Amino acid sequence: MTDPTLFIRALAFAAEKHKAQRRLDAEANPYINHPIALTRVLSVEGGVTDTEVLCAALLHDTIEDTDCTADELRQEFGAAITAIVLEVTDDTSQPKPVRKQAQIDKAAGASTGAKLVKLADKICNLRDVLRSPPPGWSYQRKQDYFVWAGKVLVGLRRRRGRNPSPGIDSGGHDVRVCSLLHRGRHWQSAVWARRHR
């Protein structure tokens, strides 16, 4: 990581923005645990050291789920980090099915940084659904989530206008993205393994 001070600022900013929020898991954990988990997946499991990507992971839900605006984020953290956050931000004015389809449709055209953040987000969410699903989620709802997440993962593996390929076309993150994709597919398939025990 080239700028730990920026990372700490992003962590503090995200913690402040998400301070009143809880995850939907059974324990209702503090929301900030989720962005922190993304940075762990990226840095420890994926070997990502790019400060902008790690900061974007910490901030990835601030525009979508808090009162934070793109202008505020840009002023605090610059255009590059904000651009990644905007790429992974859902349009909350749309109904949920439209937003879910948009994630699938936009995945192939995302920047390398956005693909890394989205991959880590899906991996963390899949793990949470397996470990501690939201109360009231039926087996079918969990299964549907895994199927949809798998479609997003396939899209993230694609390059613009091409079939799935093992690499991503810029940034030198090919091996890291492939490693994270493998983990994402592993977690997506785990639900099927559990069903057949």
Residues serving a catalytic function are 64-65
Q: Which residues contact 81 (CB under 8 A, 6 or more apart)?
A: 10, 52, 55, 56, 59, 73
Any idea what DSSP says for residue 24? S
Cα separation, 27 vs 23, whole angstroms:
8
Q: Alpha helices of 41-69 — where are they, by DSSP H?
A: 51-59, 62-65
Q: Nearest-5° angle of CA 104, CA 118, CA 18?
A: 120
Number of CB atoms found within 10 A of residue 165's CB: 12
Cα separation, 179 vs 70, whole angstroms:
30
Cα separation, 41 vs 43, whole angstroms:
6
Tell which residue, 93, 37, 27, has the closest CA to residue 60: 37
